[in-house]
Amino acid sequence: MNRIVFIRMFTATCGLLFLSLWGVAQTQSRSAQLIQVLVTPNKADWTYALGEEASFEVTVLKHQVPVENATVSYRIGLEKMPPTQSGEATLSSGTVVVGKKATLDTPGFLRCEVRVTVDGADYRGFATAAFAPESIQPTQQLPNDFWTFWNAAKAEAAKVPMDAKLTLLPGRGTETVDVYEVNIQNYELGTRLYGILARPKKPGKYPAVLQVPGAGIRPYAGLIELAAEGMITLQIGIHGMPVTYETGLYNDLGAGALRGYQFFNMDDRDRYYYKRVYLGCVRAIDYLYSLPEFDGNNLAVWGGSQGGALAIITTALDNRVKYLASFYPALSDLTGYLHGRAGGWPHMFNETNAPFMAKDDKIAVSAYYDVVNFARSVKVPGFYSWGYNDETCPPTSFYAAYNQIKAPKELYLVQETGHWTFPEQQIKVQEWLVAQLRR
C-alpha cells in the first residue's frame, strides 16, 4: 500500500479517530495564521536530564518574517499548574530567550507559554521541555482487589447472551468490502453495543482490528479502506445507541443527557459509567472471535485519547488481543492533581472539579478505572505515539502509564504535537499494524 493511500485512509474514514482529524485541521489552521508565535527549547529533542537548565527562544513571525520590538508575555511552569516564572520581554532583534534557568529536580514537564498582541489581535504559542520523562511514576494507587473486581465483572458479563444483529449498509460498501452496523448485547441484559463492521467479500480467513473511540458522542463511518487491504475491522461507539444517525442527534446528546458522562456515578465502582465501556470493549472482541471469517488469532486494538486509554485497558483485560496501538491515552494517572502535578483527562480532580469530585469515594473508584493500573498487566507488543505539547492529555499523565508497561513497546515521539497527529504519525501506526497482523 502506498503512502498516499495511508493518508487517505486515515483522513477519509475517520482514521486514527475523530480527534486526530480535528487535530490535522487545527495544524492546517495554525500554519495559515498571519502571526505565528514560535517557542523553541534550547535542545533539539526537547528532553533534559534532571537539574539541567532549559531555556526557550521566542520568535514572532508576520509574513514569515520576524517581528522586531514586539513585547511578549511569558509563563513557565509545570503543565496545568500555576507558573513558577512569568514576565515580559521585548523582541529587540526579532527573537528573545526566556526562562534561562528553567529546570526540574523531579521527572516531569515544564511548559513555556508565550502571548503577544499584534494589531489588536492576541496570539499564543508554547513549547514543553521534558525532564527524565521515562522516570515518571504514577500517583494512583493499585487496589488490592483490582483484578478480583475486574475478573468477577468479566465473568458476569460473559453470562449475558451476545444476541448479535447485523444490518447491511449497502451505500457504504464497495466492490470488495461489505459494511454493516453491528448491534450486540453488552455486559447486562438489555444494554447494547453498536459499531460499524467492515469485512472483505472474498472468502477467507482474515486478521481483525478493533478501533476504540475517542471521547464524545458521534456517528461512525467504519474503516472500509483498511478492510479492503484484507482485514476485518470493527469501529465501535460506547454509549449504547446506533452509530448511523445524523450528527445533530449526537450533538444534542453531548450537550444534554450525556454531557459529562465521564463523571456519571463515580461514587460507585459498580455503577460508574466506564464499567459499561470497558466491558463493552471485551464484548466487541467476543463478537470478532465469533466471526467465521476471523483467523482466530491476529487481533489488534487501537485508538487515541479516550481510545488510546481503551486500547491499553482492553489489552490488559483480554489476553486474546495480540497487538495494541495507543496515541496520547486519556484516563491516565487521574490523581496527579492531588499530588501537585497534572492528572489525566477528564481532569476530574483539577482545581475546577475538585470541590465536587475530590471525595474519598470518588478517588477510590478512580483507581479501578485508571490506565496506569491496567498498563502494569499489558503483555503484548504495542505502538505508541504522542508529543510533549498535549494540553488535553498532559504528557506527565500518559508517561506515568507508559512507564508501567514492560511488554515490547515502540514509541514514535513527535515532540511538537499536541492533541492531534501529523500524517507521518498516522502512516507509522498503519504500517506497524499491518506488519504485525500479516506476520
Domains of the chain, first to last = 3-25+138-437 (3.40.50.1820), 29-135 (2.60.40.1930)
The per-residue DSSP string of 355-412 comes to HHH--HHHHHHHTTT-HHHHHTT--S-EEEEE-TT-SSS-HHHHHHHHTT--S-EEEE
Q: How many CB atoms sit inside 10 A of residue 341's CB?
A: 23
Task: Give me the pLDDT at residue 9, please.
Answer: 35
Q: How far apart are CA 425 and CA 382, in angstroms?
A: 14
Q: How far apart are CA 295 and CA 293, in angstroms?
A: 6
Q: How far apart are CA 205 and CA 232, in angstroms?
A: 9
- Active-site annotation holder among 239, 326, 366, 419: 419
Task: Give me the pLDDT at residue 298, please.
Answer: 97
Provide the residue-wise pLDDT of the chain in tens; the chain has 439 residues.
433 333 333 333 333 333 333 333 333 334 568 899 999 999 999 999 999 999 999 999 999 999 999 999 999 999 999 999 999 999 988 899 998 889 999 999 999 999 999 999 999 999 999 999 999 999 999 999 999 999 999 999 999 999 999 999 999 999 999 999 999 999 999 999 999 999 999 999 999 999 999 999 999 999 998 999 999 999 999 999 999 999 999 999 999 999 999 999 999 999 999 999 999 999 999 999 999 999 999 999 999 999 999 999 999 999 999 999 999 999 999 999 999 999 999 999 999 999 999 999 999 999 999 999 999 999 999 999 999 999 999 999 999 999 999 999 999 999 999 999 999 999 999 899 999 998 7
The question of whether 122 is a catalytic residue gets the answer no
For residue 197, give the 3-state DSSP assignment: strand
The question of whether 419 is a catalytic residue gets the answer yes
The question of whether 267 is a catalytic residue gets the answer no
Task: Give me the pLDDT at residue 438, please.
Answer: 86
Task: Give me the pLDDT at residue 384, please.
Answer: 98
Q: How far apart are CA 116 and CA 118, in angstroms?
A: 6
Q: How many CB atoms sit inside 10 A of residue 134's CB?
A: 11
> At residue 188, what are phi and psi to the nearest 5 degrees?
-130, 150
Task: Give me the pLDDT at residue 225, please.
Answer: 87
Q: How far apart are CA 410 and CA 423, in angstroms?
A: 18
- Active-site annotation holder among 370, 385, 390, 397: 390
Task: Give me the pLDDT at residue 14, please.
Answer: 34
> At residue 259, what are phi and psi to the nearest 5 degrees?
-65, 130
Exposed (0-12), middle (13-18) or buried (19+): which is 76, by Cβ within 10 Å?
Answer: buried
Residue 291: DSSP 8-state: -
pTM over cut 0.75: yes
Task: Give me the pLDDT at residue 439, please.
Answer: 77
Choose among 200, 202, 198: nearest CA to 210. 198
- Active-site annotation holder among 20, 55, 305, 377: 305
